[in-house]
């Protein structure tokens, strides 16, 4: 059995702080989910966990080191994080609920949704334990000024001039270290600390010897923090506590019901697994005379996710997923709808656009996620894949394979532009077509990075470490902006176009297994920029070159590409009319 190395609640891993080595595990064990405990043993390749419910039962668990590994049958939770979760939820959590929560809050790591994989290795104090402030304050000019009545510092920060309700809202967003910096600016600022800590218990969670917290305690506590030199650890601790509290709110949504078999693999939602603990699939028949579409959403990590969808027709109603109080109901104006667009990220569906109706929970370019499309074939029937909290995917029920453009989830489309732009398989080169076919077989769609420059392209930069390492980033400069995708921190190879007459005319893409892609951008003035000036071609490596060129009447208005790990693995043209 395998698990990723991260805690599903705080997303942190194993680091120097000793509390991060103790884990609770939730895993599929036969016909049920079992909770266990393991202490990380750095000298063992397989970790041994012991069941907390079945005495004497031990299981071997491999911790997969890859940041792209998605857990399907076993999850780790720091013992402290799980402990807090149970405390915050105020009720017992069944193993099945814990498993469903882990599955729902785990991002899809297999498809590489950009750079949102934060592996935080910083150390921080155990979120469960009480932190005791320093008993003796160092005498400094600052502490003296703050403790002596009547001595004010020159001028308070401008924040204090805000109306108090606004100030309270602003302070809630500040990290503990920023708050400490703010509180120590003046006596007046410090006077906010007491009320703040009462109404926001998570920023300085358990940072007191005295839980009732008299005013003087808090005051001294705050100053004590200001002399503590590892404030950033408190910030990380606050993030963890905040996340645990957010997860605890979701527990009531996770009912203890088991799914009927078959369920679907989180690593391949189009493929069934043999146990009851995977993702579930629903089909929704849209009534012939549907009048209203209902879509509900939940908040997860500060974002909204679609968690249920249904239709109303006269007295009848169909609905699948979780119905929450955040529900939008919109009249379905047209009787037949052919397109559904989706905004998705690594955790699931963020927003839906049903036919010509507006986006229900935000436009993907404004909420920073990937945009996908599904085209109706024959049936008025929708297929939904969901975890216990929210939708993972949604599409029309299709009997034949989806079109090329339906397999692409595209990032960064400016919302002023029409739908997908024109993309087609013939204007797309993959280094490993089989890998992408596999993603389509398993997930239906895969994410690509995209850059849109319309008629405003001014410069292109290619980032790579040279030689055979491939391209790790591309940036394009348009009139007033620069768009970057991938890693753009090295010194790039670059070309500046003599706009408006010089435009990008064609791109040569060289593929030669097993080497990474190489590209040459060429303008209508026959100037070029190549990713590999003195590369493989000189070495006589066998390769093939495909030239991507817009058909007559079209021009290149954007580029899109898939990153595999850190390397550009495919490249395609977005076309617009000339």
Which residues are near Zn ion by CB under 5 A?
Answer: 7, 9-10, 78, 81
Least Å from the CB of residue 15 to Zn ion: 11
- Nearer CB in complex with Zn ion: 78/411: 78
Between CA 302 and CA 281 the distance in angstroms is 26
- Nearer CB in complex with Zn ion: 300/529: 300
- Closest-CB residue for Zn ion? 7
Sheet holding 504-512, edge to edge: 528-530, 515-523, 504-512, 544-548
Picking from 108, 105, 73, 387, the residue whose alpha carbon sits closest to that of residue 255 is: 387
E strand or H helix at 178, and its extent? helix 176-183
Q: What is the 3-state secondary structure (H, E, C) of 54-96?
A: CCCCEEEEEEECCCCCCCCCEEEEEHHHHHHHHHHHCCCCCHH
Picking from 465, 84, 99, 400, the residue whose alpha carbon sits closest to that of residue 256 is: 99
Around 361, how many Cα atoms within 13 Å sit in the side-chain half-sphere?
25
Least Å from the CB of residue 84 to Zn ion: 9
Tell me how far CA of residue 97 lies from CA of 52, 94, 100, 181, 495, in angstroms. 16, 5, 5, 40, 55
Q: How many residues does the chain have?
A: 578
Q: Cα 328 vs. chain centroid, distance in angstroms? A: 24
Least Å from the CB of residue 23 to Zn ion: 9
Least Å from the CB of residue 11 to Zn ion: 7
Least Å from the CB of residue 9 to Zn ion: 5
Least Å from the CB of residue 81 to Zn ion: 3
Kindly report whether the peptide bond that precedes residue 225 is cis, defined as omega within 30 degrees of 0: no
Between CA 182 and CA 189 the distance in angstroms is 7
Between CA 219 and CA 192 the distance in angstroms is 10
- Nearer CB in complex with Zn ion: 9/495: 9
Least Å from the CB of residue 159 to Zn ion: 32
Least Å from the CB of residue 78 to Zn ion: 3
- Nearer CB in complex with Zn ion: 10/497: 10
- Nearer CB in complex with Zn ion: 9/273: 9
- Nearer CB in complex with Zn ion: 78/353: 78
Q: What is the 3-state secondary structure (H, E, C) of 105-134?
A: HCCCCCCCCCCCCCCCCCCCCCCCCCCCCC
- Nearer CB in complex with Zn ion: 7/340: 7
- Nearer CB in complex with Zn ion: 10/519: 10
- Nearer CB in complex with Zn ion: 80/112: 80
Which pair of structure tokens corresponds to residue 129?
């334990």
- Whether the CB-CB separation of 474 and 568 falls below 8 Å is answered with yes
Helix 176-183 with 231-250: angle, nearest 10 deg: 120
E strand or H helix at 505, and its extent? strand 504-512
Which pair of structure tokens corresponds to residue 428?
């797309």
Provide the greatest CA pair distance for the chain. Answer: 82
Between CA 467 and CA 434 the distance in angstroms is 25
- Nearer CB in complex with Zn ion: 244/519: 244
Between CA 303 and CA 143 the distance in angstroms is 40
- Nearer CB in complex with Zn ion: 37/319: 37
- Nearer CB in complex with Zn ion: 8/346: 8
Least Å from the CB of residue 234 to Zn ion: 16
Least Å from the CB of residue 25 to Zn ion: 13
Picking from 187, 157, 184, 186, the residue whose alpha carbon sits closest to that of residue 170 is: 157
Which pair of structure tokens corresponds to residue 1?
């059995």
Least Å from the CB of residue 76 to Zn ion: 8
Least Å from the CB of residue 39 to Zn ion: 15
């Amino acid at each position: 059995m395998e698990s990723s190395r991260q805690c599903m609640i705080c997303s942190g891993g194993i680091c120097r702080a000793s509390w991060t080595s103790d884990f609770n595990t939730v895993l599929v064990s036969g016909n049920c989910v079992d909770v266990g405990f393991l202490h990380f043993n750095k000298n063992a390749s397989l970790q041994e966990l012991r069941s907390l419910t079945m005495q004497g039962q031990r299981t071997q668990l491999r911790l997969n080191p890859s940041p792209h590994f998605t857990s399907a049958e076993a999850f780790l939770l720091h013992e402290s994080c799980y402990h807090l979760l149970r405390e915050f939820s105020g009720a017992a959590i069944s193993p099945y609920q814990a498993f469903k929560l882990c599955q729902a809050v785990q991002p899809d790591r297999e498809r590489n949704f950009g750079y949102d994989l934060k592996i935080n290795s910083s150390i921080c104090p155990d979120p469960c334990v009480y932190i005791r402030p320093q008993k003796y304050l160092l005498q400094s000019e600052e502490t003296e000024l703050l403790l002596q009545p009547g001595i004010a510092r020159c001028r308070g920060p401008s924040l204090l001039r805000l109306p108090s309700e606004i100030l309270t809202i602003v302070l809630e967003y500040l990290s503990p270290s920023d708050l400490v910096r703010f509180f120590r600016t003046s006596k007046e600022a410090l006077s906010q600390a007491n009320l703040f800590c009462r109404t926001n218990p998570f920023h300085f969670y358990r940072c007191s010897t005295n839980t009732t917290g008299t005013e003087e305690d808090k005051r001294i506590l705050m100053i004590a923090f200001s002399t503590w030199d590892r404030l950033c650890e408190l910030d990380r601790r606050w993030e963890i506590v905040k996340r645990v509290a957010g997860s605890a709110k979701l527990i009531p949504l996770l009912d203890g019901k088991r799914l009927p078999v078959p369920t679907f693999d989180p690593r391949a939602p189009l493929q069934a697994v043999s146990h009851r603990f995977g993702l579930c699939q629903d089909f929704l028949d849209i009534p012939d005379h549907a009048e209203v579409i209902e879509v509900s959403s939940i908040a997860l990590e500060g974002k909204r996710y679609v968690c249920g969808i249904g239709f109303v027709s006269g007295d009848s109603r169909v609905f699948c997923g979780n119905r929450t109080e955040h529900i939008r109901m919109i009249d379905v104006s047209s009787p037949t709808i052919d397109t559904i667009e989706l905004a998705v990220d690594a955790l699931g569906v963020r927003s839906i656009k049903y036919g010509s109706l507006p986006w229900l929970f935000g436009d993907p370019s404004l909420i920073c996620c990937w945009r996908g499309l599904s085209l109706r074939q024959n049936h008025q029937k929708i297929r939904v894949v969901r975890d216990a909290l929210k939708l993972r995917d949604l599409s029309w029920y299709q009997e034949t394979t989806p079109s090329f453009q339906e397999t692409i989830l595209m990032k960064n489309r400016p919302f002023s532009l029409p739908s997908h732009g024109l993309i087609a398989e013939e204007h797309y080169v993959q280094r490993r077509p089989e890998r992408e076919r596999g993603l389509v077989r398993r997930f239906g769609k895969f994410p690509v990075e995209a850059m849109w420059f319309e008629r405003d392209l001014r410069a292109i930069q290619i980032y790579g470490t040279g030689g055979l390492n491939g391209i790790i980033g591309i940036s394009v400069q348009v009139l007033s902006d620069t768009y970057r995708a991938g890693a753009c921190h090295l010194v790039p190879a670059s070309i500046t176009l003599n706009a408006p007459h010089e435009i990008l005319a064609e791109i040569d893409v060289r593929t030669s297994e097993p080497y990474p892609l190489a590209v040459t951008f060429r303008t209508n003035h026959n100037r070029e920029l190549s990713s590999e000036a003195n590369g493989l071609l000189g070495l006589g490596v066998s390769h093939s070159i495909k030239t991507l060129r817009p058909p007559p009447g079209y021009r290149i208005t954007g580029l899109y590409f898939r990153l595999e790990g850190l390397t550009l693995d495919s490249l395609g043209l977005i076309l617009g009319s000339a």
